[in-house]
Amino acid sequence: MKNGKPITLGEFELIRQIQQQAGTAEHLLLGIGDDCAIQRQATDQELLISTDLLIEGVHFDLRWTSLEDLGRKAVAVNLSDIAAMGGTPLSLFLGVGCPQRLSSDDLQQFSRGFLSEAAKYSAVLAGGDTCRSPGPLLISVTVQGCCARGRAIRRSGAAVGDAIYVSGTLGDSALALQQLQRGEVPLRELASRHHTPQARIALGAQLAKQRLASAMLDVSDGLLGDLGHIADQSSVGAVIELNRLPLSTAFRAVLAQNPQLIDLALTGGEDYELLFTSKAQDLEQQADLSPGVTRIGSITAAAGIQCRWPDQSLYQCERGGFDHFA
Ligand code: ADP
Ligand code: MG
């Protein structure tokens, strides 16, 4: 809450404003305003559906997150799941549980961020629900997307000998959050990775189209935990070569002062990069993949995930990945 104003618009006026700004799309026969949205279905496509819940105090903190950035991030983290299947986003559905202390101004900022981020990925807001929350701000986003029949990339397809790749860089978001929680001001390039992550839609779709990935997911809970999901579901193990982890210049600068921070790159959450396995061993050289990918290890027959230094010594990570119920 910026100015302490209570909501001055009623529920229906708010929804009407969102409706006016939501726009439309070719696949959407009927959007916001009726009991259901109506979508056209392409018969050669499969429907991808995913939901994310964002709860104030658990997933975000309004002391350092603006409502507009929160709106952007709510879209990006949700669309990241579509990217992780190699799909293309179509429609978004937005549930908001809004505490009394937020003003209609705050909510308008949120929807401004939400809608502008959705537009970036050609996703359209097709419906939702709006209620009062007696407690924290609560945001639920559901996305529907599509992919060509049989082409969605699951977590279960990794095979022994596959190379492991990750897009972009790891650990920046977790480092920014750690600094924010300590009352420090993160460098802008770190802060933006935390506040306004990007969904790797184009990369995911390209990997699916060219059949380059055998298994894939997005890194939301930390590399080790998320690679663990691929390993479990594919019944394989993995080796990570620590010297190959892709780290930003800003991250490397802090790591040089504190080597233990390598754990943030391994287990810090909210990178929203794509982690995938592939038969192809040379994707680092494939210049048309954007953002570029880094080969960080290989899939093994032996169960478990090992982190290795170049001298072959093993590293035991002290930090666990994020688990809401741990
Ligand atoms: P109902 O009582 O049928 O649930 P609502 O009054 O809750 O209808 O919603 C009216 C319309 O506005 C519906 O099309 C719904 O999908 C849409 N809607 C409500 N809240 C939101 C929101 N936060 N974002 C997008 N659409 C919304
Ligand atoms: Mg409703």
Which strands form 45-55's sheet, in the order they lie side by side? 45-55, 138-148, 88-98, 124-132
Q: Over the stretch 49-72, which tens digit does the pLDDT of each residue have?
A: 999 999 999 999 999 999 999 999
Architecture of the domain made up of 163-315: Alpha-Beta Complex (3.90)
The average pLDDT across 8-12 equals 76
Cα(142)–Cα(94) distance, rounded to whole angstroms? 7
pLDDT at 4: 40
Using a 6 Å cutoff on CB, does residue 33 contact ligand 1? yes
Does the pLDDT at position 2 exceed 60? no
For the residues 78-88, what does the mean pLDDT come to? 98
Q: Helix H segments across the chain?
A: 11-22, 67-83, 104-120, 172-181, 188-195, 201-209, 223-234, 249-257, 262-267
Going by alpha carbons, the residue nearest to atom 19 of ligand 1 is 129
Regarding the beta carbon of 96 and ligand 1, being less than 6 Å apart is answered yes
Nearest 5°: the CA angle 189, 195, 196 is 80
Q: In this structure, which amino acid lies at residue 60?
A: F
Q: Answer whether 158 contacts ligand 1 (Cβ < 6 A).
A: no
Pocket test for ligand 1, best of 110, 129, 137, 144 (most atoms within 8 A of CB): 129
- pLDDT at position 260, please? 94
Quote the ligand 1 centre to 93 CA distance (angstroms): 9
Distance of CA 129 from the midpoint of ligand 2 (Å): 4
- Asked if residue 63 lies in contact with residue 57, where contact means CB atoms within 8 angstroms, the answer is no
Segments making up each domain of the chain, as ranges: 11-148, 163-315
Confidence at 6, pLDDT banded by 50, 70, 90: very low
**Confidence at 1, pLDDT banded by 50, 70, 90:** very low
Distance CA 318, CA 326 (A): 15
Would 11-148 and 163-315 be classified into the same CATH topology? no
Write phi, then psi, for 210 (nearest 5 degrees): -90, 5
| pLDDT score, position 8 | 59
pTM of the entire structure? 0.94
Q: How confident is the model at residue 270 (pLDDT cuts 50, 70, 90)?
A: very high
Q: pLDDT for 207-266, tens place per residue?
A: 999 999 999 999 999 999 999 999 999 999 999 999 999 999 999 999 999 999 999 999
- Predicted confidence at residue 11, as pLDDT, reads 81
Fold of 11-148: 60s Ribosomal Protein L30; Chain: A; (3.30.1330)
Q: What is the Å distance from ligand 1's center to 15 Cα?
A: 7
Which of the listed residues 29, 39, 70, 130 should we mutate to test ligand 1's pocket, taking the one with most ligand atoms within 8 A of CB?
Answer: 130
* Range scoring the smallest mean pLDDT among 112-121, 178-187, 287-296, 315-324: 315-324
Look at residues 141, 49, 51, 38 and name the one whose alpha carbon lies nearest to residue 95.
Answer: 141
CA distance 198 to 280: 25
pLDDT tens string 284-321:
998 899 999 999 999 999 999 999 999 999 999 877 76
